[in-house]
Chains A and B, each alone.
Chain A
Amino acid sequence: GEEVAQTPKHLVRGEGQKAKLYCAPIKGHSYVFWYQQVLKNEFKFLISFQNENVFDETGMPKERFSAKCLPNSPCSLEIQATKLEDSAVYFCASSLLGNTEAFFGQGTRLTVV
């Protein structure tokens, strides 16, 4: 597609429940990035992929967070046993090559109650 598509737009989970977010990058883009935006300001990098391979996972919390980009499937970000502090907007971005600009999706607003 011509834009980064993220689903769902909103997700509400009770503490301890699992949350799974999806991202379809722009067709032909090789790189996918996940960012977490808390309090409408800070963007925190989580993880990036080059095709289906993890490229940089230095921002991923060691526990509870995992992500995948499998061939012919949307990329996914999964949070096991959500906590209140996981409430945020999660943005996915994709770029054609490693040194080109990233295009962002609309985000998924996760609310943990």
Chain B
Amino acid sequence: AQSVSQHNHHVILSEAASLELGCNYSYGGTVNLFWYVQYPGQHLQLLLKYFSGDPLVKGIKGFEAEFIKSKFSFNLRKPSVQWSDTAEYFCAASTGTASKLTFGTGTRLQVTL
């Protein structure tokens, strides 16, 4: 069965620090990969997605992620975080057409001033 792992459960960074959140998936076939963000009390918003093509994906708000097939990874990065990036970040994967999303357990990012 497909699974998604996020090993960082809680990350605390100071403003302007660089961010990298890990995401690994387990599935040998073609996968679609996503990063969603959930701000406190709000719904999930899509940060970026990877379906095919360039493995370095750029998303909104200065986020990017790199798909490394050999490592089954899709880590999220941002060069300089802001206080407003404080939120819960979810990595997700799907396979095939109209497939359900399998989510990781999320990483809580706390950015301090």
Chain A positions near chain B (C-beta within 8 angstroms) = 31, 33, 35, 40-43, 45, 48, 50, 55-56, 58-59, 91, 93, 95, 97-99, 101-107
Contact = CB atoms under 8 A, between A and B. Distances in A.
A107 B98 CA distance: 21
Interface of B: 32, 34, 36, 42-46, 49, 51, 88, 90, 92, 96-103, 105-106
B51 A99 contact: yes
18 contacts: A33-B100, A40-B88, A41-B105, A43-B92, A43-B103, A45-B100, A48-B100, A56-B99, A58-B100, A93-B44, A95-B98, A98-B96, A98-B99, A99-B97, A99-B98, A102-B46, A103-B46, A104-B45
B101 A33 contact: yes
Contact of A42 (B96, B98, B105): B105
A33 B51 CA distance: 19
A50 B98 contact: yes
Closest 3 CB pairs of A and B: A98-B98, A98-B97, A43-B103
A43 B42 contact: no
A45 B3 CA distance: 13
Contacts of B42: 106
Of A41, A58, A105, A107, most buried by chain B (CB within 10 Å of CB) is: A41
Contacts of A93: 44, 101
Given A58-B100, A97-B98, A101-B49, 6 more contacts: A35-B101, A40-B88, A42-B105, A45-B100, A91-B43, A93-B101
B43 A42 contact: no
A72 to B, nearest CB: 22
Contacts of B96: 98
Contacts of B51: 99
